[in-house]
Amino acid sequence: MTGLAAAGAREAVHGGTAPRGAGRRWPVVVVVVLLLGQMAAAMVTTAVRQTPTIDEPVYVGTAAVYLREHSLRYNPEHPPLGKLVIATGTAVADPHLDAGFRGDQGALGRRLLYESGNDPWRLMFWARLPVIVLTLLFGLVVFAFARELAGAVGASAALALYCLSPDVIAHGSLATLDVPAAGFVLTSVRLLWRARRRPRWRLPLAGAAFGAALATKMSVLPVLPVLVGTAAVSAWCAAAAGRRHRLVRAVAGAGAFALVAVAVVWAAYLVVDPRLRWAPPEQVPVVHGLRGLLVELLPFPEPYRDGMRVQFGFEDHPWEGFLFGRHYTGSLWYYLPAALLVKTPLGTLVLWAAGAVAVVGVRRLRPAAPYLLAAPAVLLAAAMYGSRTSAPGTPSSCRCSWRWRRGACSRCGGGGRGR
């Protein structure tokens, strides 16, 4: 899926708003290279020196099992694609793994890193390196998206916010799933935006990008209806005149987007085990009500649906928490907004708000508002309900640039210079 992210970023420097002269392109290229270069240095330095976080041994151990045994039995609460990305680096490290290990996933990670004769520092670096590469490619997606909306100066500002973000650098240097999931969602949204002009290939590519997000973290599922509707809007905008023709194209575009996304999820599981052997773990809870019906209706493999049941079981568990001097049991709907306000730098909060207001208030930017704001809003609402995701933060880098170059979508009354 690194190639998918690269495809979404391919026009970062040469696509979007075309420069008037070749000589004016070089300063932009230099800025992009410098920003991504310093980000790569920061992430590599972090990856080399940082000890494993609590989740990383589980993901790296599961990736090693994918490589050696082609088994889905570990870490079913997360789909396999993100761990397959990690596995590309794990394969280079070539760690020793006891055949047929039967401990739980936490014990698997400890055994692989510390009890099997492997060098944990070397193994963790190689496991983190593919995520670092993906994070840099997603930076190109941020630049490309912002350039179509705000020109080269605005795109450079957006890329600077992305590359200098401590959150993105910290998460991008870890062998975890947050940045890949968020980046694939952003890539899908960017391709949907460009599909307003030429939907034939961009709508399926957008579906593939979102399928990659679904195959990385289940917490992006709430945004599926939003992006399916966005795909329909993009296909409608690209269709020729005639209400009936546009309606047919919109339905076909939304269907193609959804089918490709589902196919990518199935493909991720089949890459691990082509026979899709699955024995549900004992701790899979029974989910009732609307959530249980939703799980049953989803057109995904049984391991994916059992993973959702495990996630719902986690949400129903009476966890203890602490917020503003209060010790509580259960969940507070306002915990995440409060945490964001407390933990996010004031300058970043101001930029988020200013970017959102600019997208909605500036007439030429307004057509991009549903693309940029709907997915983060839905993911934030889902996270407030109980689902964890880091996705709402990443697209905001695109919202924080204001410079607009002329160029409107001939059919939809605004937008960038999508081709």
pLDDT band at residue 23, thresholds of 50, 70 and 90? Answer: low
Domain positions in the chain are 2-399
pLDDT band at residue 291, thresholds of 50, 70 and 90? Answer: confident
User: Exposed, middle or buried by CB within 10 Å (0-12, 13-18, 19+), for 243?
Assistant: exposed
- pLDDT of 284 over the 80 cut: yes
| Dihedral in degrees, nearest 10, Cα atoms 29, 128, 6, 387 | -110
- C-alpha 127/C-alpha 88 separation (Å) is 7
- C-alpha 404/C-alpha 364 separation (Å) is 8
Range 193-203 average pLDDT: 91
- pLDDT of 92 over the 60 cut: yes
Structural tokens at position 153: 């100066």
Which of 136, 70, 64 minimizes the C-alpha distance to 98? 64
- C-alpha 196/C-alpha 370 separation (Å) is 13
Provide the pLDDT for residue 381. 86
Structural tokens at position 9: 């970023």
Provide the pLDDT for residue 283. 78
Instruction: Choose between 218 and 98: higher pLDDT.
Output: 218
Provide the pLDDT for residue 360. 92
Provide the pLDDT for residue 374. 92
Provide the pLDDT for residue 383. 81
Is the distance from CB of 187 to CB of 264 less than 8 angstroms? no
Structural tokens at position 274: 């082509």
Provide the pLDDT for residue 393. 38
Tell me phi and psi for residue 300, to 5 degrees: -115, 165
Provide the pLDDT for residue 65. 95
User: Exposed, middle or buried by CB within 10 Å (0-12, 13-18, 19+), for 406?
Assistant: exposed
Percent above pLDDT 90 for the chain: 61
Range 271-276 average pLDDT: 95
Average pLDDT, rounded, for the chain: 85
Give me the amino acid identity at 317.
H
- pLDDT of 414 over the 50 cut: no
The angle that helices 243-272 and 224-238 make with each other, rounded to 10 degrees, is 140
Structure-token match 């269709």, residue found? 239
Which of 395, 10, 351, 3 minimizes the C-alpha distance to 189? 395
Range 49-53 average pLDDT: 94
Provide the pLDDT for residue 389. 36
Q: pLDDT, tens digit, for every residue of 340-373?
A: 888 888 888 898 899 899 999 999 889 999 999 9
Range 184-203 average pLDDT: 93
Provide the pLDDT for residue 386. 58
Provide the pLDDT for residue 3. 52
Q: pLDDT, tens digit, for every residue of 203-260?
A: 999 999 999 999 999 999 999 999 999 999 999 988 777 788 889 999 999 999 999 9
Q: pLDDT, tens digit, for every residue of 123-174?
A: 999 999 999 999 999 999 999 999 999 899 999 999 999 999 999 999 999 9
Provide the pLDDT for residue 1. 56
Q: pLDDT, tens digit, for every residue of 371-399?
A: 999 999 998 888 877 544 333 333 333 33
Q: Count the Cβ atoms, other than its own, within 10 Å of residue 316.
A: 14
Q: pLDDT, tens digit, for every residue of 169-184?
A: 999 999 999 999 999 9
Is the distance from CB of 36 to CB of 141 less than 8 angstroms? no
- C-alpha 44/C-alpha 169 separation (Å) is 10
